[in-house]
Chain A
């Protein structure tokens, strides 16, 4: 399983948070709660990835934020999302993806085909698969 392509185990785009850069923070948070995952991905109309926003990004945002909460909640994603993110492509194996995640202490990796978002590799899901197949 570790040598399988990571994309096989990734969560499909329709089953996790994807938002537009003009969408507000509140929407990202609602979707992250709805799909019970710590990442939302900001894509354009062509489904090309622009940035991400994670639980960690939100924690760091809260610590530096000076706006009142009502103002923060309507802040557009383009103003707060993380353009400096890691991702994997369709050739990456599960083992390589896990190595990236553990080395960088991240739990979710966007899976891209070129610049297009095709899925999210979520570490918890990968571990479940590994344990189930043990």
Chain B
């Protein structure tokens, strides 16, 4: 079935259309804003790849990392500096940006800068968070919690709709598979699409082994390309990946962020499978298997 379609972007950034038969959207960037220089460098680099491949792009990077495994881990540059940096990225590069927020009180300020507002996976059911995001009026990037069944995401969607917002992207970032492990169940993409909203695959968190290394999460990047191809073949409206020039040196998610040097290869294949999927749908119609 074809999903709702809406636009992401305000002001004079290059707006992105998502949903229905639109081109595959890429949402990506370093997990955390590490510094102004690094954020700008990464945004330029990823933008260049996306322009080369003609893939609509939304830059993602977070100003606060509340869900780190360890108290010793980097917590983020903070909302003020972070939003200032994202604002600079928007203005200099004319691209839409997204960040998440973990405190309802931060939603308004976050939405003043961000074109898309993200809800952390662990908070995907919290009414106060969903309400705060909905009331900003911005499109919402809602990550399905690792603990949630895909059909139960309907409840979070209903909460957001009740609070007056109907621009939602539902993202699968893997599901708990026993302790410290995630499984990718691509039925979730079909089940979440039943809500009528666009769906997205988070390829870097999906290969994560949550807190598998005692006080930090592990992960195996080598699974990213095949899982991305599979997701795009299954049917997604957007792909999400955290990208870093030197992941082992990254201040967060060093084991899951994908190397900048690898994204062109992955994005090109994602786009190819997305376009093939669309071509097959126009030949064979929407899936209607009894």
Q: Which residues of A contact B (CB under 8 A)?
A: 67-68, 70-71, 74
Q: Chain B residues near A74: list those with CB within 8 A.
A: 151-152, 154-155
Residue of A nearest to B153 (CB): A74
Q: A67-B151, A71-B191, A74-B152 are in contact. List 8 more A-B contacts (CB 8 A).
A: A68-B149, A70-B151, A70-B152, A71-B149, A71-B151, A74-B151, A74-B154, A74-B155
Q: Chain A residues near B154: list those with CB within 8 A.
A: 74
CA distance A7 to B151 in the complex (A): 41
CA distance A132 to B149 in the complex (A): 52
CA distance A74 to B194 in the complex (A): 12
Q: Chain B residues near A68: list those with CB within 8 A.
A: 149
CA distance A67 to B194 in the complex (A): 14
Expressed in whole angstroms, the minimum distance between the Cβ of A25 and any Cβ of chain B is 12
Most buried by A among B149, B151, B152: B151
Residue of B nearest to A24 (CB): B154
Expressed in whole angstroms, the minimum distance between the Cβ of A38 and any Cβ of chain B is 26
CA distance A67 to B154 in the complex (A): 16
Number of B residues whose C-beta is below 8 Å from A? 6
Q: Chain A residues near B152: list those with CB within 8 A.
A: 70, 74
CA distance A108 to B155 in the complex (A): 32
CA distance A70 to B155 in the complex (A): 12
Expressed in whole angstroms, the minimum distance between the Cβ of A128 and any Cβ of chain B is 40
Expressed in whole angstroms, the minimum distance between the Cβ of A76 and any Cβ of chain B is 9
CA distance A95 to B154 in the complex (A): 45
Expressed in whole angstroms, the minimum distance between the Cβ of B45 and any Cβ of chain A is 42
CA distance A67 to B151 in the complex (A): 10
12 contacts between A and B (CB under 8 A): A67-B151, A68-B149, A70-B149, A70-B151, A70-B152, A71-B149, A71-B151, A71-B191, A74-B151, A74-B152, A74-B154, A74-B155
CA distance A71 to B154 in the complex (A): 10
CA distance A98 to B185 in the complex (A): 51
Q: Chain B residues near A71: list those with CB within 8 A.
A: 149, 151, 191
CA distance A36 to B261 in the complex (A): 65
Expressed in whole angstroms, the minimum distance between the Cβ of B287 and any Cβ of chain A is 15
Residue of B nearest to A75 (CB): B151
Most buried by B among A68, A70, A74: A74
**Complex A-B, nearest 4 residue pairs according to Cβ-Cβ distance, in ascending order:** A71-B151, A74-B151, A74-B154, A70-B149
Q: Chain A residues near B149: list those with CB within 8 A.
A: 68, 70-71
Q: Chain B residues near A67: list those with CB within 8 A.
A: 151
CA distance A74 to B155 in the complex (A): 9
Most buried by B among A67, A68, A70, A71: A71
Expressed in whole angstroms, the minimum distance between the Cβ of B152 and any Cβ of chain A is 7
Q: Chain A residues near B191: list those with CB within 8 A.
A: 71
CA distance A15 to B164 in the complex (A): 31
Q: Chain B residues near A70: list those with CB within 8 A.
A: 149, 151-152
Expressed in whole angstroms, the minimum distance between the Cβ of B39 and any Cβ of chain A is 40
Expressed in whole angstroms, the minimum distance between the Cβ of A16 and any Cβ of chain B is 25
Residue of B nearest to A72 (CB): B151
* B residues 150-189 touching A (CB-CB < 8 Å): 151-152, 154-155
Residue of B nearest to A67 (CB): B151
